[in-house]
Amino acid sequence: MSIKFKPPMGKFSRLSGKCISLVGDDIDTDRIIPARFLKCIDFDSLGKYVFDDDRKTLKGNHPFDLESNKRSSILIVNSNFGCGSSREHAPQALMRWGIKAIIGESFADIFYSNCIAIGIPCFTLPKESIKKIQKHLDIKNLFLEIDLFNSIAIAKDLKLNLEIKETTKKMFLSGEWDATSKLLENENLIEEKLNDLPYIRFNNNSF
């Protein structure tokens, strides 16, 4: 399933959504988005191809194909998620499928950084807490309200103390993760700097 894509922008402190669980350690980026899709000229079409090989193998029984998981936006994973290649297409594909946040035991470092750069916060929880959530999801849907400022996630009958790097939290709360918005906010400063560079200044007679 692919939904209409709305990229995150600027600072935020809260997000909410339905959870989807993907069980298994060491799920690498080639499984998240197979290499044949890396030749795309933009990321817009990647959402429908996320976990393409796994989904074909499971013939409609993959979590990303189940009717009960439609419109899910918080991904629950196990350890070392996003390992392997450093391709940025992996978090881009997840985001365009509809994922807004990921909660797991641990993440590969480059995958984690690529997620933060496009506005997907990655939280960690102990193994037993992740298993508890995944067991819950085997029975019924789970909707979480994530409070980034206090690093907690709350459901009707559940409260989770999430872990996230303090520097990462500050980036989301301040909006510093969003390089594009920061550039647009400082357009005047950029223009001033541009005009101060002697090797940039020229007049029409230079052509």
Place of tokens 């960690």: 124
CA nearest to 131, candidates 27, 24, 12, 41: 24
Q: Is the pLDDT of residue 199 over 80?
A: no
**Coil vs helix vs strand at 152:** strand
CA-to-CA distance for 136 and 72, rounded, in angstroms?
15
pLDDT in tens, 76-98: 999 999 999 888 999 999 999 99
pLDDT in tens, 136-184: 998 899 999 999 999 999 998 889 999 999 999 998 998 887 666 656 6
Helical segments of 59-178, H only: 89-97, 109-117, 127-139, 166-174
Do the bridges between strand 152-155 and strand 143-147 make them parallel or antiparallel, or are there none, so unpaired?
antiparallel
CA nearest to 126, candidates 78, 89, 59, 186: 78
Amino acid in position 150: N
Domains of the chain: residue spans and CATH: 14-175 (3.20.19.10)
Angle subtended at Cα 102 by Cα 97 and Cα 103, rounded to the nearest 5 degrees? 150
Q: Is the pLDDT of residue 67 over 70?
A: yes
CA nearest to 138, candidates 69, 53, 78: 69
pLDDT in tens, 14-59: 999 999 999 999 999 999 999 999 887 778 889 999 999 999 999 9
| pLDDT reported for residue 42 | 78
State how far Cα 97 lies from the chain centre. 10
Q: How many CA atoms lie within 13 A of 125 on its CB side?
A: 22
Please enumerate in sequence order all residues whose Cβ is within 8 A of that of 10, keeping only pairs 6 or more positions apart, or say none.
Answer: 175, 178, 181
Q: Is the pLDDT of residue 192 over 80?
A: no
| pLDDT reported for residue 186 | 58
